[in-house]
Chains A and B, each alone.
Chain A
Amino acid sequence: MAGNETMVRFDKVTKRYGNFVVLDQLELEIAPGEKVAIIGPSGSGKTTVLRMLMTLERIDGGVIWVDGEPLTSMRRNGELVPADQRHLRRMRGKIGMVFQHFNLFPHMTALKNCMEAPCAVLNLSKAEAAARATELLEMVGLGNKLNNYPAQLSGGQQQRVAIARALAMRPKVMLFDEVTSALDPELVGEVLNVIRKLGSELDLTMLMVTHQMGFAKEFADRVCFFYQGRICEQGPPQKIFGAPENERTRQFLRAVLEAA
């Protein structure tokens, strides 16, 4: 279980809502630094994959491994038992998430949004946290909006603050959950540019659920097509977009391209 070859591993992970199986014995391995795009029709379990990794959803079966350790369970006397809060907190610290609807704290400035968790969780001093937050906000191109409140920012700017906020916690894995879906079309580009920049400048493992096929094609190392709670087909973007083998994949891509 060396952490070096695999950053994230889904081992027969199952998720149900009542009788509805969202994820069916999912197997997925992601290498450190790998950028994986998850595509698929709605209801196929894409977002659930990210939400389970972020511990926002309970796991009904199987184990998720992050950085060589089980995410929601821990070893005790050679057996896996449900994790305590300390373990969960430590594991969560390795993961950052950006949401479709930003979920910024509306009563805090962009700077404060990016300082809150570093102060509370990493025990940084106010000055250290502010310096880091400023640096990150500059990186996402918002160095001149430090003291603006979310309501004073455009959707694209808010999403960039949300990215900076997640990065401030120094995660190893970043999750992007349809981060451009709630944006006006003209604002999508600025957010994707920031993600491109992270990809080239930081040593991050990235997992993104996206409807931006063009971006997935250009940015991802691997594309996973989800259908009915399973990975129906996966591979390098050239193959998935250029020569998909599975009929479902072809149908889906055809439908998406027609809409675009």
Chain B
Amino acid sequence: MFWDWQFVGQIIPQLLQAAIVTIFATFLGFLIAAFLGLAFALGRLFGPKWLAIPLVGLIEGIRSTPLLIQIFFIYFVLPEAGISIGALTAGVLALGLHYATYCSEVYRAGLANVPRGQWEASLALNLPTWRTFRDIIIPQAIPPVVPALGNYLVSLFKDTPLLSAIGVLELLQTAKIIGSENFRYTEPITLVGIIFLLLSLASAVIIGFIERWLKRHVMRS
């Protein structure tokens, strides 16, 4: 038979277990991407002059090289320099760093779109710089770019199978192992595809919720 439902029932628990790893890597990776990306954008737009050139170099360097190479670099090359980290940690760091550069461009657009009058009012009220950023500028810069950030969340999620290359037991790696042990690839690989599809759709719905909530409760316009 082409499709074996009994086999599906056997491997589902294992795949769901692996899905947790994938989700974990996605969230942790995106958390890094979201915060580091904001730091990159702030550093590039408002940081000291000496910081701008190395920062642009770093961002462009990461954006212009494949994620897989960065994963290998962190996992295989950094230990040579005495920094040894586990496969999952290395993978999450690589995902976070890679997507931080994309997110930083998104934040940059959001920050640049805050009207100049908001800066001037903050200065006229004598607000300290960090309060201006925390209370005035960032709350206005982020809500409009949430849809774009959401796209990168889904992209990052779909890039997690790359972690199978360094042996992280996420969905694809688990499916490969199941396949090679049972000489059946149809069910595990198809199921992985379906799980990715469902999770992508679910996250799109969640991002839509966040977007609407922000519009109603933060933007107020």
Q: Which residues of A contact B (CB under 8 A)?
A: 54-56, 89, 92-93, 95-97, 99, 101-107, 116-117, 120-121, 149-152, 165-166, 169
Contacts and interface: CB of A to CB of B under 8 A. Distances in A.
Contact of A107 (B117, B121, B126, B140): B140
B80 interface: no
B49 interface: no
A89 B117 CA distance: 19
Given A56-B120, A120-B131, A151-B220, 10 more contacts: A54-B120, A92-B123, A92-B124, A95-B124, A106-B221, A116-B135, A116-B136, A117-B125, A120-B127, A165-B125
A105 B126 contact: no
Nearest to B117: A103
Nearest to A150: B220
B128 A120 contact: yes
Interface of B: 115, 117-118, 120-121, 123-128, 131, 135-136, 139-140, 218-221
9 contacts: A54-B123, A95-B124, A97-B124, A103-B121, A106-B219, A107-B219, A116-B125, A116-B135, A117-B126
Contact of A99 (B120, B127, B136): B120
Contacts of A107: 139-140, 218-220
A151 B221 contact: yes
Contacts of A101: 117
A55 B123 contact: yes
B124 A166 contact: yes
Contacts of A117: 125-127
A89 B128 CA distance: 9
Given A107-B140, A116-B135, A96 B128 contact: no
Contacts of B220: 106-107, 149-152
A116 B136 CA distance: 10
Nearest to A117: B125
Contacts of B123: 54-56, 92
Contact of A169 (B125, B131, B136): B125
Nearest to A56: B120
Given A106-B140, A120-B131, A99 B117 contact: yes
A110 to B, nearest CB: 12
Contacts of B131: 116, 120
B121 A105 contact: yes
A89 B126 CA distance: 6
A136 to B, nearest CB: 14
A89 to B, nearest CB: 6
Nearest to A98: B124
Nearest to A95: B124
Nearest to A97: B124
B136 A105 contact: yes
A101 B116 CA distance: 11
Given A103-B117, A107-B218, A121 B127 contact: yes
Contacts of B140: 106-107
Contact of A116 (B117, B124, B127, B218): B127
A236 B120 CA distance: 32
B137 to A, nearest CB: 10
A120 B126 CA distance: 9
A103 B118 contact: yes
A205 to B, nearest CB: 16
B112 to A, nearest CB: 17
